């Protein structure tokens, strides 16, 4: 009796081992690389991000469709209505182009040179805020969805440039010196994160020169005051 | 011995017929566990041949060794050190050990039979 139990146990377990081995072979592990949980988590995150992006694009499509619908409706009711519609849109675009002072929630970033007294041989370039630093910070803010940005109250438009001028920096043909106050209107949390989150440019720049970001409930950003004329670019009009 | 061969054969057949496969995510753990189980099977065979087989010892070793091996693989992944090497080295080494002993016993049996026939 005892012997039968022993043999049955052996039989069952030997069967179990070969069963799981075969299953393992069938799942073809050589086709897969060995991944850690970390990689899987990253892949899942990436997938989530792509899905989110996809959703955003779909939303955008719906929005545009609705807008088209609206225009068609308006055109049916007569040209006055259509003109009104376009005027509203022009106003919106003017905000984007910096024609008006705007206000809203956002952040203010103060960037300033170090005022540490260094020995003569020390390269002063390590202590000053460069045009490139400001460009990258502004780029980060734009990517985080900033709707209006100004540097020391110079509104940035699509024609703006930021250039090095020795100890100063030129923005929109206006020279300015440290400290630089960058104001940005948009989702304050996103904007704040875009310059202070670990591994962002702002976060690493903080170790080298001064950079302080603060969330503000309401800031005012002035309109663009410079030249708006186009000398060379002429629009190509489509005849419809 | 025969029992084990039959068991292995049955397992292979069922495994091929069975329509499901593991999630490849767990393939490392299962591989290491299989090694531990295989070691137990060899150990059990040897114990039967030496007449020292104990069902409880065998069963507990079978499952607990497999679990420990899988746990080592898991822990190693968390710590960033491939700890499952420990399981591979131990069980792999014991596998050969057990196999060597089984071989000796079989050879001894054959020789005894031969000498009986000679007489």
Do residue A133 and residue A175 come from a single domain? Answer: yes
User: What average pLDDT does the segment B26-43 reach?
Assistant: 86
Residues of A within 8 A of B37 (CB-CB) are 13, 16-17, 20
Do residue A198 and residue A122 come from a single domain? Answer: yes
In a domain, A206, yes or no: yes
Do residue A184 and residue A111 come from a single domain? Answer: yes
Please name the helix (run of DSSP H) or strand (run of DSSP E) that holds residue A213, with its range, or none: strand A210-221
In a domain, A233, yes or no: no
Report the residue of A4, A10, A27, A33 to disrupt the B interface, i.e. the one with the largest count of B CBs within 10 Å. A10
* pLDDT tens-digit map of A131-156: 999 999 999 999 999 999 999 989 99
Comparing A193-197, A201-205, A227-231, B45-49, the range with the smallest average pLDDT is A227-231
For residue A126, whether the previous peptide bond is cis, meaning omega lies within 30 degrees of 0, is no
What pairs with residue A106 in β-bridges?
A: A185, A216
In a domain, A232, yes or no: no
b/e per residue, A131-169, with b = 16+ CB within 10 A? bebbebbbebbbebebbbbbbbebbbbeebebeeeeeeb
Per-residue confidence band for A85, with pLDDT thresholds at 50, 70 and 90:
confident
Nearest Cα to Cα of residue A183 among A154, A145, A224 = A154
Structural domain boundaries in chain B: 28-118
Count of domains for chain A:
3
Per-residue confidence band for A32, with pLDDT thresholds at 50, 70 and 90:
low
CB contact under 8 Å between A11 and B41, yes or no, is no
CB contact under 8 Å between A13 and B14, yes or no, is no
Do residue A120 and residue A189 come from a single domain? Answer: yes
Please report the pLDDT score of residue A29 as a whole number: 64
Do residue A158 and residue A203 come from a single domain? Answer: yes
Do residue A126 and residue A188 come from a single domain? Answer: yes
Per-residue confidence band for A20, with pLDDT thresholds at 50, 70 and 90:
confident
Do residue A214 and residue A178 come from a single domain? Answer: yes
What pairs with residue A86 in β-bridges?
A: none
* A4 CA: distance to closest CA in chain B (Å): 11
Nearest Cα to Cα of residue B32 among B97, B96, B86, B84 = B84
In a domain, A139, yes or no: yes
Quote the mean pLDDT of chain A: 87
Domain ends where: A51, A68, A96?
Answer: A96
CB contact under 8 Å between B24 and A32, yes or no, is yes
Do residue A69 and residue A116 come from a single domain? Answer: no
Q: Is the pTM of this model over 0.80?
A: no
Domain that holds residue A111: 102-221
In a domain, A235, yes or no: no
In a domain, A62, yes or no: yes
């Amino acid at each position: 009796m005892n012997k039968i139990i022993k043999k049955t146990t052996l039989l069952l377990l030997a069967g179990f081992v070969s069963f799981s081995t075969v299953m393992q072979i069938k799942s073809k592990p050589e086709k897969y690389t060995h991944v850690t949980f970390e990689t899987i988590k990253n892949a899942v995150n990436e997938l989530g991000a792509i899905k989110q992006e996809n959703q955003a694009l779909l939303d955008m499509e719906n929005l545009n469709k609705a807008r088209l619908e609206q225009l068609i409706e308006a055109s049916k009711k007569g040209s006055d209505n259509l003109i009104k519609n376009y005027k509203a849109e022009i106003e919106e675009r003017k905000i984007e182009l910096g024609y008006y002072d705007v206000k809203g929630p956002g952040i203010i970033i103060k960037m300033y040179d170090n005022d540490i007294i260094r020995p003569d041989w020390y390269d002063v370039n390590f202590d000053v805020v460069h045009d490139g630093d400001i460009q990258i910070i502004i780029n980060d803010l734009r990517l985080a969805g900033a709707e209006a940005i100004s540097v020391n109250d110079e509104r940035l438009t699509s024609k703006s440039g930021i250039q090095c001028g020795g100890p100063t920096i030129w923005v929109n043909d206006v020279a300015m010196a440290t400290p630089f106050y960058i104001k940005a209107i948009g989702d304050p949390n996103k904007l704040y994160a875009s310059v202070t989150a670990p591994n962002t440019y702002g976060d690493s720049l903080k170790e080298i020169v001064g950079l302080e970001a603060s969330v503000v409930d309401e800031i005012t950003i002035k309109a663009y005051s410079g030249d708006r004329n186009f000398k060379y670019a002429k629009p190509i009009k489509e005849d419809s | 011995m025969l029992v084990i061969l039959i068991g292995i054969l049955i397992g292979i057949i069922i495994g091929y017929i069975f329509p499901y496969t593991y999630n490849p995510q767990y393939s490392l753990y299962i591989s290491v566990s299989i090694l531990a189980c295989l070691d137990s099977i060899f150990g059990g065979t040897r114990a039967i041949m030496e007449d020292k087989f104990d069902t409880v010892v065998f069963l507990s070793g079978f499952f607990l060794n497999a679990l420990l091996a899988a746990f080592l693989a898991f822990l190693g992944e968390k710590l960033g050190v491939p700890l499952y090497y420990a399981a591979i080295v131990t069980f792999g080494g014991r596998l050969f050990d057990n196999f060597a002993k089984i071989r000796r016993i079989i050879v001894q049996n054959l020789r005894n039979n031969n000498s009986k026939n000679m007489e």
